[in-house]
């Protein structure tokens, strides 16, 4: 490590330091007010319609009435229930193979867990 | 060890102690004695050492005691994993990998951005599994896919932050995917990162934010800055530049594209893209320089530089290698501040001790070994040698060194050219009463006249350090990366300089871009030009395959060669420390001067060369020719790959695995699409090539693609790049198929000939015959190469026949049944990964197979193998084996017998 010795006071060398400090501070300040998108929270409650299917008790036939759920998926839902127990949230229907995010969105108003 | 180095023991005690400690850790891995035994050994030797404290051999006792402490620490560390650690729950099968589970925990950082989504590291606390709630601990890593705008917005509304407590439903996985010899275990890699399990979050609806917990405000601030910088870099620069900058400055490698990363790997310069010792040293050095403007108090300089460095390492995620580098820098710098003497080696030992106490299992990791080997190379060899060369070059008659160094003239001239300072000598000379004339190197004047001496000195030192590191790291780079870059010494210099410039330009550009986009534009362009320079120059050199060798490794007892390599190296390093160029010739023969006699030194150097030649040219590597036919069905997940070794030693790789193109993302605008392929290791590289290297192959005689589906053909491109091959064999050559053209391009570049086969062809490899049963001849470039036009092969050796069916489906199976006598085989590779599209009853009956091999992953996205197919084969009396469950399935025959082996022994009787 090399140490520079300032034997006499030199205003210019100190100005230099201050400038450096200033630049650092500006940079930090600038990067602070970055483009973090502030999106207004538009909390959407799932509106469950009255005739919603209870996915924890429904039979295969009842499940098949839901959009995008065929024989295969209905069977998998029932298998899933037998293996892992009740669905604690309707969203967890997505654990079942064949029910993607998009498909779930189309039937989320039609299902309930209790 | 301490005995041979007893003279050094006093100078670097901590170095030797840490070596003993590491030896203890390593041996405990092989000798699993109980911790009590280690404790007893340790105590006995410690007490005996205390008893004989005045005697010389007490050193040996202390060393043994330290070895035992290492073993004790290893045992305790690995036995004291909490019962409720996620890791343990999965390893003991209390939770099954891949089952749905609800986990709750606190985010231990901001979401780590990546292309097409982001990663979350969750410090887990509770879980609900099969309706019962359990307390858990340990970190899990979750990937949230967020491709389209709507999903991204939904995640933004969730506002996941450092310290957020969230509840997530996911299928958590902790399992190894590719069970083959030589393939590194995925769980082991995750354990090194302290991640117990991973999962993909299927939808933002499965994430629920519960609360914000209290966080350490400065840390949150630092994380915020870092993420903003990542966003800034991505917004301002093109894909490749942003990828390089984000990886090398901010430690997030998810934006690196494969092509760029490959250029760095090929040149042996990839380490600059991972935040490592080099970065820490560079940044630390830079801050020190800056601070020297403000204060000249050493302790202050140290404190500020170190504080900045630690803030930086926390910001970039505080990965283990970064913390390790930071700790080493701190300790090495501290030793300079406190002692101001050359005790770097001792500090290195201290670092080792602390790091091993912190994470004893790290001693087995590539990262730890590479760090210590490279720092050791610099501190123990490069620096002392440069120092000695400097004193030789700088020599002028003084009271201590009245005589010129006793070294060969050429060496003296070289050193003088670099280190002689004429100006200093003239000043010195003018002060003396006497005057003298020294005859120094003739090139010196030329260099000094052009002010090039300093420049030449820097270049020489950088190249020298780089070379020494290369030599010391040779076995490690071969074992871990299977690479040898002949030009890496030069390329490292180039990349180091350019990336430093690029980083400065980028920071300036981002700073200006925050003020005004137009001012920043020229600097942004400059950064991108620098990036192009950074990539194109190494690319130009590494395009030739001779500059970038891929090497196999030895297995079995020959592996010891990688450790033996260090013995002559350490011996030479010790000799270097003993070398006193100014010492007068001593006639007295001490034991030392015999040990380090010139003859022995020459022998050590020759031995070192011999060992490196053995490692590079690999003469005894490939497996012995044993007169048997071997077929290894590799576990490549969803996909096919089989290595056939013929009795005469020739090899044929049938398919190379691969993955469908799920991970190419389109960045940039529609008019100017910029495809981004993330830098993930392909199956062909990480599984097939690793398997072949581990077996000691550097060439594969023939590669064969049954058809042009990605999960069969893609890996062959990697195989063709990494191994030399004589010919490539196809059924059809569909010129328009993207997968095929990718392979074809590689084959043309490497000058590998392509051969087309069709029904009726027969290949012979010694005594082995391969009959081609399908597809019919069609040479047109439009010919389909889909599942139903797979090459179907029957391998015949003596009485034994193996049938390889590619991905054929019912239609082709029926067609083949027209000549059903050709289908009879002892072993069948079940068509199409056991899908219900294939394996009709008649086909199974016609084959009369005893063994049915299904090449499929443990979990297949298509649900392969289908249960009814497995049942059908079982009912026919065949033993059904899947690669997903068993790992590599190896069969071998001498023409009469049939031997079957699987890699994963746990599942053999299923």
Q: What percent of chain B has pLDDT above 70?
A: 94
Cβ of residue B517 closer than 8 Å to a chain A Cβ: no
Q: Point out the residue among B131, B204, B511 whose CB comes nearest to the CB of A30.
A: B511
B-facing residues of A in 83-102 (CB < 8 A) are: 84-86, 88-89, 91-92, 94-95, 97, 100-101
B487 upstream amide cis, omega within 30 of 0: no
Kindly tell me if the per-residue pLDDT of B803 is higher than 90: yes
Residue B397's pLDDT is 81
Q: Stretch B389-417: mean pLDDT, rounded?
A: 86
Residue B295 sits at the chain A interface (C-beta within 8 Å) = no
Q: Where are the beta strands (DSSP E) in B244-355?
A: none
Under an 8 A CB cutoff, do B229 and A31 touch?
yes
Residue B169 has a pLDDT of 94
Is A53-112 CATH 1.10.3720.10? Answer: no
Q: How many CA atoms lie within 13 A of B516 on its CB side?
A: 3
Chain B residues close to A31, C-beta within 8 Å? 225, 228-229, 232, 510, 514
Per-residue model confidence as pLDDT tens digits over B200-231: 999 999 999 998 888 888 888 888 888 999 99
Domain residues of chain A, as ranges? Answer: 1-45, 53-112
**pLDDT above 90: percentage of residues in chain B:** 42
Q: In what order do the strands lie in the sheet with B851-854?
A: B762-765, B768-774, B792-797, B800-804, B827-829, B851-854, B879-882
Name which of B395, B278, B381, B284 is nearest B336 in CA terms: B284
pLDDT tens readout for residues B655-676: 999 885 544 454 444 444 456 7
- Closest-CA residue in chain A for B151? A101
Total-model pTM: 0.87
Give contacts of B102 with chain A, Cβ < 8 Å: 88, 92
pLDDT per residue as tens digits for the range B470-514: 999 999 999 999 988 888 888 988 998 999 999 999 989 998 888
Instruction: Determine which helix (DSSP H) or strand (DSSP E) holds B744, and give its type and residue range.
Output: helix B738-749
**To 5 degrees, how large is the angle CA B862–CA B863–CA B869?**
115
Burial B668-696 (b: 16+ CB within 10 A, else e): eeeeeeeebbbbeebbbbbbbbbbbbbbb
CA quadruple B155, B157, B162, B168: dihedral positive or negative? negative
- Alpha-carbon gap, residue B636 to B833, rounded angstroms: 11
**What is the rounded average pLDDT of the residues B678-704?**
90
pLDDT: which is higher, B341 or B234: B234
Residue B764: per-residue pLDDT? 94
At B198, the pLDDT band (50, 70, 90 cuts) reads very high
Q: Which residues of chain A have pLDDT under 70?
A: 1-50
Strand partners, B100: B171
Question: B270 to chain A, minimum CA–CA distance in Å?
Answer: 29
Question: Per-residue pLDDT averaged across B554-570, rounded?
Answer: 90
CB B628 within 8 A of CB B893: yes
Q: Of A78-87, B289-298, B472-481, B841-850, give the lowest mean pLDDT range.
A: B289-298
Region B768-778: mean pLDDT is 91
pLDDT value of position A26 = 57
Q: Which residue of A has its CA nearest to B341?
A: A1
Quote the CA–CA distance of B177 and B183 in Å, as a whole number.
10
Give me the pLDDT at residue B825, please.
94
**Residue B851 scores a pLDDT above 90:** yes
Strand partners, B705: B730
In the predicted model, what is the mean pLDDT of residues B236-257?
A: 91
- pLDDT mean across residues, chain B: 87
pLDDT value at position B835? 92
Q: What is the C-alpha separation between A5 and B296, in angstroms, rounded?
A: 7
Q: What does the alpha-carbon distance between residue B474 and residue B569 come to, in Å, rounded to a whole number?
A: 11
Query: Nearest chain A Cα to B158, which residue?
Result: A41
In chain A, residues 30-89 whose CB comes closer than 8 Å to chain B: 30-32, 34-37, 39, 41-42, 80, 84-86, 88-89
**Residue of B205, B329, B860 for testing the chain A interface, max A β-carbons within 10 Å:** B205
Q: Say what the pLDDT of residue A27 is.
A: 57
- Please state whether beta strands B768-774 and B197-201 pair in parallel, antiparallel, or not at all (unpaired): unpaired
Read off φ and ψ for residue B877, nearest 5 degrees: 95, 5
Residue B678 is predicted with a pLDDT of 77
- Measured CA to CA, the distance from residue B133 to residue B147 in angstroms comes to 33
CA distance A29 to A35: 13
List, in sequence order, every residue forming a beta bridge with B412; answer none if it has no partner.
none
Q: Which residues in chain B touch residue A28, judged by CB atoms under 8 angstroms apart?
A: 225
String of DSSP letters for A58-96? --HHHHHTSTT--HHHHHHHHHHHHHH---SSGGGGGGS
Mean pLDDT of B681-709: 91
Q: Which residues of B275-284 are buried (b: 16+ CB within 10 A; e: fewer)?
A: bbbbbbbebb
| Residue ranges of B 182-241 with Cβ closer than 8 A to chain A | 202-206, 225, 228-229, 231-232
pLDDT tens per residue, range B810-820: 999 999 999 88
Task: Please compute the mean of the pLDDT values over residues B576-601 and round it to a whole number.
Answer: 74
Mean pLDDT for B414-434 is 83
CB distance B330 to B309 below 8 Å: yes
Mutate to test the interface with A, among B97, B160, B202 (most CBs of A within 10 A): B202
Question: In chain A, what residues touch B250 (CB-CB under 8 Å)?
Answer: none
| Residues paired with residue B704 on neighbouring β-strands, in sequence order | B654, B729
Beta strands in B383-503 (DSSP E): 483-485
Least confident window among B214-228, B308-322, B434-448, B800-814: B434-448
Q: Which of the four pLDDT bands, split at 50, 70 and 90, describes residue B266? A: confident
The predicted structure's pLDDT at residue A17: 55
Q: Which residue has the higher pLDDT, B723 or A113?
A: B723
Burial of residue B572 (number of CB atoms within 10 Å: 0-12, 13-18, 19+) = middle
User: Mean pLDDT throughout B449-469?
Assistant: 88
- Check CB contact of B153 with chain A, cutoff 8 Å: yes
Q: Is B566:B23 a contact under the CB 8 Å cutoff?
A: no
Is the C-alpha dihedral spanning B405, B408, B412, B415 positive or negative? negative
| Rounded Cα distance, B520 and B517, in Å | 5
Residue B482 tokens read as 């299977």
The closest of B551, B578, B572, B573 to B562, measured between CA atoms, is B551
Mean pLDDT of B707-730: 92
Average pLDDT over residues B721-737: 90
Which tokens go with B640? 């096919």
What is the CA angle B462-B332-B496, rounded to 5? 25
Say which of A1, A27, A31 has its CB closest to residue B301: A1
Question: Could you give the CA distance from residue B531 to residue B250 in angstroms, rounded to a whole number?
Answer: 16
């Amino acid at each position: 490590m090399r140490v520079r010795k300032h034997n006499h006071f030199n205003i210019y060398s100190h100005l230099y330091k201050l400038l450096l400090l200033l630049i650092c501070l500006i940079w930090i300040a600038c990067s602070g007010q970055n483009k973090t998108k502030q999106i207004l929270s538009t909390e959407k409650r799932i509106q469950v319609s009255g005739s919603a299917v209870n996915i924890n008790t429904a039979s295969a036939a009842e499940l098949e009435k839901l959009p995008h759920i065929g024989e295969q998926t209905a069977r998998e839902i029932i298998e899933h229930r037998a293996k892992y127990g009740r669905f604690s949230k309707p969203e967890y229907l997505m654990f079942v193979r064949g029910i993607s995010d998009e498909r779930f969105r189309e039937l989320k108003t039609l299902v309930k867990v209790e | 060890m301490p005995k041979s180095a007893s003279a050094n023991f006093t100078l670097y005690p901590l170095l030797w102690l840490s070596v003993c400690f590491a030896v203890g850790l390593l041996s405990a891995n092989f000798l699993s004695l109980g911790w009590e035994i280690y404790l007893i050994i340790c105590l006995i030797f410690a007490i005996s050492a205390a008893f004989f404290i005045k005697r010389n051999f007490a050193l040996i006792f202390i060393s043994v005691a330290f070895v035992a402490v290492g073993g004790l620490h290893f045992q305790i560390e690995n036995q004291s994993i909490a019962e409720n650690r996620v890791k343990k729950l999965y390893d003991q099968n209390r939770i099954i990998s891949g089952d749905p589970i609800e986990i709750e925990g606190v985010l231990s950082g901001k979401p780590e951005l990546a292309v097409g989504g982001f990663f979350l590291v969750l410090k887990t606390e509770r879980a609900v599994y099969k309706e019962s709630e359990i307390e858990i601990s340990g970190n899990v890593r979750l990937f949230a896919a967020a491709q389209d705008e709507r999903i991204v917005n939904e995640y933004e509304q969730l506002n996941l932050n450092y310290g957020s407590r969230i509840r997530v439903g996911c299928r958590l996985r902790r399992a190894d995917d590719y069970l083959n010899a030589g393939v590194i275990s995925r769980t082991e890699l995750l354990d090194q990162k302290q991640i117990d399990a991973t999962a993909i979050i299927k939808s933002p609806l499965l994430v629920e934010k519960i609360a914000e917990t209290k966080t350490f405000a400065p840390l949150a601030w630092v994380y915020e800055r870092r993420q903003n910088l990542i966003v800034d870099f991505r917004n301002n620069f093109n894909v490749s530049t942003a990828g390089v900058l984000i990886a090398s400055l901010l430690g997030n490698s998810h934006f690196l594209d494969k092509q760029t990363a490959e250029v760095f790997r090929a040149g042996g310069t990839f380490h600059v893209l991972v935040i490592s010792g080099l970065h820490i040293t560079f940044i630390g050095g830079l801050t020190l320089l800056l601070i020297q403007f403000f204060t000249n108090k050493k302790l202050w300089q140290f404190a500020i530089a170190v504080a900045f460095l630690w803030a930086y390492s926390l910001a970039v995620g505080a990965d283990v290698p970064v913390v390790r580098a930071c700790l080493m820098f701190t300790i090495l710098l501290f030793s300079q501040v406190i002692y101001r003497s050359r005790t770097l080696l001792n500090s290195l030992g201290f670092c080792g001790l602390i790091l091993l106490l912190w994470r004893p299992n790290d001693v087995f990791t590539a990262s730890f070994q590479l760090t210590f080997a490279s720092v050791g190379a610099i501190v123990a060899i490069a620096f002392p040698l440069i120092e000695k060369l400097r004193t030789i070059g700088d020599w002028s008659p003084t009271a201590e060194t009245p005589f010129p160094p006793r070294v060969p003239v050429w060496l003296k001239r070289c050193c003088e050219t670099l280190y002689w300072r004429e100006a200093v000598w003239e000043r010195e000379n003018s002060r003396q009463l006497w005057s003298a004339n020294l005859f120094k190197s003739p090139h010196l004047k030329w260099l000094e006249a052009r002010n090039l001496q300093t420049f030449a000195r820097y270049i020489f030192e950088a190249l020298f350090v780089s070379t020494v590191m290369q030599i010391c790291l040779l076995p490690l780079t071969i074992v871990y990366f299977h690479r040898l870059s002949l030009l890496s010494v030069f390329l490292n210099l180039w990349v180091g300089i350019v990336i430093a410039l690029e980083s400065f330009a980028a920071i300036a550009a981002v700073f200006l871009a925050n003020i005004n986009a137009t001012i920043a534009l020229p600097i942004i362009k400059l950064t991108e030009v620098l990036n192009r320079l950074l990539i194109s120059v190494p690319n130009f050199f590494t395009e030739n395959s001779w500059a970038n060798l891929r090497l196999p490794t030895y297995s079995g007892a020959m592996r010891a060669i990688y450790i033996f390599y260090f013995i002559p190296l350490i011996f030479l390093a010790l000799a270097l420390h003993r070398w006193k160029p100014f010492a007068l010739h001593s006639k007295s023969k001490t034991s030392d001067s015999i040990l380090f006699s010139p003859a022995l030194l020459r022998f050590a150097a020759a031995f070192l060369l011999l060992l490196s030649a053995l490692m590079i040219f690999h003469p005894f590597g490939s497996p012995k020719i044993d007169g048997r036919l071997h077929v290894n069905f590799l576990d490549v997940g969803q996909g096919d790959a089989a290595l056939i070794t013929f009795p005469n030693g020739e090899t044929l790789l049938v398919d190379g695995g691969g993955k469908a193109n799920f991970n190419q993302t389109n960045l940039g605008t529609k008019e100017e699409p910029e495809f981004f392929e993330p830098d993930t290791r392909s199956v062909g590289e990480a599984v097939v090539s690793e398997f072949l290297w581990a077996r000691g192959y550097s060439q594969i005689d023939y590669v064969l693609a049954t058809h042009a589906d990605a999960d069969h053909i893609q890996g062959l491109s990697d195989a063709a790049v990494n191994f030399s091959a004589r010919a490539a064999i196809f059924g059809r050559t569909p010129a328009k198929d993207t997968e095929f053209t990718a392979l074809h391009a590689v084959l043309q570049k490497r000058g590998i000939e392509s051969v087309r086969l069709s029904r009726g062809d027969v290949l012979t490899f010694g005594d082995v015959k391969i009959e081609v049963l399908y597809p019919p001849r069609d040479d047109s470039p439009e010919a389909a190469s889909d599942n139903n036009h797979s090459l179907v092969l029957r391998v015949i050796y003596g009485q034994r026949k193996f049938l390889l069916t590619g991905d054929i489906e019912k239609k082709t199976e029926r067609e083949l049944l027209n000549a059903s006598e050709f289908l009879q085989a002892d072993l069948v590779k079940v068509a199409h990964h056991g899908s219900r599209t294939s394996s009709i009853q008649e086909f199974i009956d016609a084959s009369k197979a005893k063994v049915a091999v299904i090449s499929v992953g443990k979990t297949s996205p298509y649900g392969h193998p289908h249960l009814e197919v497995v049942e059908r084969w079982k009912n026919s009396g065949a033993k059904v084996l899947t690669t997903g469950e068993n790992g590599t399935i190896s069969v071998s025959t001498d023409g009469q017998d049939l031997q079957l082996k699987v890699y994963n022994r746990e599942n053999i009787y299923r």
